[in-house]
Structure formats: C-alpha cells, structure tokens
C-alpha cells in the first residue's frame, strides 16, 4: 500500500493503449491510491467509461459541462482534489494541445487549471513519436515541469516496431511510487551488491547459497526512488532489475569483486547486501567430473577477497553499509563485523527471520547504538534503511 491516501486523477486519451489504463487503475488502487478517471471522447472508442467506473468505484468524467459538479466546474474541482494527475495513454494530439495551452475539452482544461504535478505516458506510432513536432512538444512539456514516462520500444498495434509504446501499467505504478518518495538521497551515487555468488567446481556444479536477492533488490529500488543514481552488482537471481537501476550481472565472488572495485571510487555510498561466498574452488575442473573417474575428487578451497572491507579501506572512499545474516548471537557478531571492517552502519538479521523470503526483521547497528526495525516486508525495511542512511549522511555532511 505504498500509495495509501494519495488522490490521483487518471486521464485517458484516445489510442489502443487505453486498454492498459484499466489495469493501471486496478494496480493504483491495489497500492492504496484513490483514483478518479477522466476520459476524452476519443478514449471512449477504445474502452468504455463503465469499465473504469467498475475498477475505480467512482463515476467517470467525460464532459467539460458535466452537471454533477454543483458549480459545473469539474476541471477545477477534480484537479484541486488531486495530489497528482497522470495521463496514460497520452496521445500525440493531446501532448500537442497541452504543450500549447489548449483548453478545448475536460481533460485538457483540467491540466491547464491544475495546481498539482502532472505525469504523462506517451503512446503512439513510432513515426508520430519521432516526428519533429512531437519532439518539440515533449521537450516543451519537460521544460514546463511535466514528467514524461517513457515511451518504451517494441512491437506496436500497427505491426511496426520502434519507440512509442506506452509503458506497462506496472512500470507506471513504479514511477508514481518513486514520484511520491522523499528524495533523501538526491544527487548521491550509490553502488551496491545483491544476491548470492556461484563458485564453480566444474562447468555444471558449484558452491552457492540460498540468498534470493530480494533484500538487495528492495534496497536498490528504495534508493533509486529516494533519488540516488544506483548501480547494482548482482549475483545470479531470478529477479528483474528495479526500474531506473543499472544492473551489472556477475557470477563468482571474484567477478563481483572486480565489478565493485572498478566503480567504488566514483560512489558516494556502498552497500554490501550480497551473500558473497567466503571461499572458492582453487582447482575447478575444466570438464564435468564423473563418478566413475576413480574416487572422490579432491576440492581445494581458497579464501575470497573481502569486498566490503576493501571498499571501506579506500582513501576518501564511499560511505559503507554492510549486512550480517547470522543464525545466532546477532548483535555480538554484527558489531564485531562492523568494528573489524571499520564501517559506520551494518544491518543485521537472523537467517530464520527472512533469508530468501519476502519479509524480514532487521536490526541496524551504528555508532549511536542499536536500532531494531519491526518485522515487515523487505520493501518497507529497505525504505527505512535508506532513510537511516540519509540521516547519517546528513550528520556527516
């Protein structure tokens, strides 16, 4: 419920992508938003107002002269009640009209009369999107402070392929959540690790662990939404990269070490969330080991580099945050790890409380003491961690 209490007006204009707006209403409502839909006449040729009314639980507004408003000023009243207006899809015609201050229907008039922010999700044929007139209109809207979401590239309803597809409803919801998130890390460059590493024994076998990467990916998402420029060095996981986050895929601890050290000097913050293997196989086999090769093959282990410690030791290096997943004695082990690596903050959890799952229980340890966080979904804990990091950085600055 990351949009709980937010009042959003969703404007729907004419275009085949209007059918996606129905799912957008559902997803916004699922996140707790109060959604009011306003449609252009063209939009009704693709999706009916009844569909949006059923999904939002509210009457849909279509007419600038709608008499349901006591003062017959829907364009004023709807915008004044909103925390945000989103237009999705936003057709080429609609973008042109609002770029030039037109007020010839309810939605355009509402946009012109608003005193709340506006986001638009363009949707049109690739040639319409690439037309110089559309590019000028979009550039003007950006200068005017309008947020432009997308468009994406891909196959279009006309059968052509290129830029102009409306972002998927899930992507728009992520953008809306990010829009409302306090930008406590604005201007910061954040480098982090997540997921397990895989240390090869032979071409098909290896040493790894049960880390799902969910906590790290939640932190990356929260940091990006808080305004940071996030680079995520990720071990092998089955997760999509958070929107707006640059992901660098790696396999082994040595791969992760190389990727991190190549970027650490440019980072303001480093967060080591990954469950990095402590050891790797020194004598990994070039070919698959066979049972009938005569006895159990010897496996020699050597220690992997300590990525967090090396980053923390850099001269003028980033503000470092570590993670400690323990099965017992959490405070003692986490504090020992924090002092040994000389880092200002470590987030600790017991493995049985959330390793690999969707929820977790974190305890933050810093110079001021111990800060337990209530059990919660990892997305919530990630936001709380980001807020705590921002507070410590503010004090450091």
pLDDT in tens, 113-128: 999 999 999 999 999 9
> What is the distance between the alpha carbons of residues 272 and 309, in angstroms, rounded to a whole number?
10
Q: How confident is the model at residue 73 (pLDDT cuts 50, 70, 90)?
A: low
Give the pLDDT band (50/70/90) at residue 293: low
Give yes or no for residue 354 having a pLDDT over 70: no
pLDDT level of residue 157 (50, 70, 90 thresholds):
confident
More confident site: 155 or 101? 101
Least confident window among 60-74, 206-220, 277-291: 60-74
Question: Of 55-59, 69-73, 144-148, 329-333, which range is least confident?
Answer: 69-73
CA proximity to 164, closest of 27, 20, 17: 17
Q: Quick check: 356 pLDDT over 70?
A: no
pLDDT at residue 276 is higher than 90: yes
Q: Which pLDDT score, from 0 to 100, does residue 159 have?
A: 83
What does the pLDDT read at residue 290?
Answer: 85
Answer left, alpha or beta for residue 326, where phi above 0 means left and psi between -120 and 50 means alpha: beta
Q: Check residue 292 and give its pLDDT.
A: 75
Helix (H, G, I), strand (E, B) or coil at 207: strand
- Residue found under tokens 């929820």: 359
Task: Identify the structural domains of the chain with CATH numbers, from first to last.
Answer: 7-180 (3.40.50.1950), 189-396 (3.40.50.10300)
Given a contact cutoff of 8 angstroms between Cβ atoms, the answer to whether 193 and 272 are in contact is yes
Residues above pLDDT 90, as percent of the chain: 82
- Catalytically active residues, by annotation: 158
Predicted local confidence at residue 339, as pLDDT: 92
pTM (2 decimals)?
Answer: 0.85
Per-residue pLDDT of 298-346, as tens digits, reads 889 999 999 999 999 999 999 999 999 888 999 999 999 999 999 999 9
d(CA 319, CA 397): 11
pLDDT at 72 over 90: no
Per-residue pLDDT tens for 378-395?
999 999 999 999 999 987
Neighbours of 340 (CB within 10 A): 11
Question: How do residues 171-203 score in pLDDT, each as one tens digit?
Answer: 999 999 999 999 999 999 999 999 999 999 999
């Amino acid at each position: 419920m990351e949009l709980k209490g937010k009042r959003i007006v969703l404007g729907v204009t004419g275009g085949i992508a209007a059918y996606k707006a129905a799912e957008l209403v559902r997803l916004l409502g699922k996140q707790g938003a109060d959604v009011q839909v306003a449609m252009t006449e063209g939009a009704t040729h693709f999706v009916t107002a009844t569909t949006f009314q059923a999904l939002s639980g509210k009457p849909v507004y279509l007419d600038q002269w709608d008499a349901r408003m006591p003062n017959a000023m829907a364009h004023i009243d709807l915008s004044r009640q909103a925390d945000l207006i989103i237009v999705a899809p936003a057709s080429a015609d609609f973008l042109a009209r609002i770029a030039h201050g037109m007020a010839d229907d309810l939605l355009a008039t509402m946009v012109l009369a608003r005193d709340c922010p506006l986001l638009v999700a363009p949707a049109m044929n690739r040639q319409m999107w690439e037309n110089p007139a559309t590019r000028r209109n979009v550039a003007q809207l950006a200068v005017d402070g309008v947020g432009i979401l997308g468009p994406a590239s891909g196959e279009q309803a006309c059968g052509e392929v290129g830029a102009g597809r409306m972002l998927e409803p899930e992507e728009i919801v992520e953008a809306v959540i990010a829009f409302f998130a306090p930008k406590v890390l604005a201007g910061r460059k954040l480098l982090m690790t997540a997921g397990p590493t895989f240390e090869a024994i032979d071409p098909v076998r290896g040493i790894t662990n049960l880390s799902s990467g969910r906590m790290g990916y939640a932190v990356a998402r929260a940091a990006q939404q808080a305004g940071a420029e996030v680079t995520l060095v990720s071990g092998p996981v089955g997760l999509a990269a958070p929107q707006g986050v640059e992901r660098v895929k790696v396999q082994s601890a040595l791969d992760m070490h190389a990727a991190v050290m190549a970027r650490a000097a440019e980072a303001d913050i480093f967060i080591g969330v990954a469950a990095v293997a402590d050891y790797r196989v020194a004598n990994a086999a070039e070919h698959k080991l066979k049972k009938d090769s005569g006895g159990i093959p010897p496996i020699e282990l050597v220690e992997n580099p300590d990525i967090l410690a090396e980053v923390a030791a850099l001269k003028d290096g980033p503000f470092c945050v570590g993670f400690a997943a323990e099965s017992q004695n959490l405070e003692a082990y986490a504090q020992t790890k924090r002092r040994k690596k000389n880092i200002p903050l470590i987030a600790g959890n017991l493995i049985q409380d959330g390793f690999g799952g969707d929820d977790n229980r974190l305890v933050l340890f810093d110079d001021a003491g111990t800060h337990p966080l209530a059990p919660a979904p990892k997305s919530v804990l990630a936001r709380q961690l980001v807020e705590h990091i921002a507070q410590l950085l503010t004090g450091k600055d």
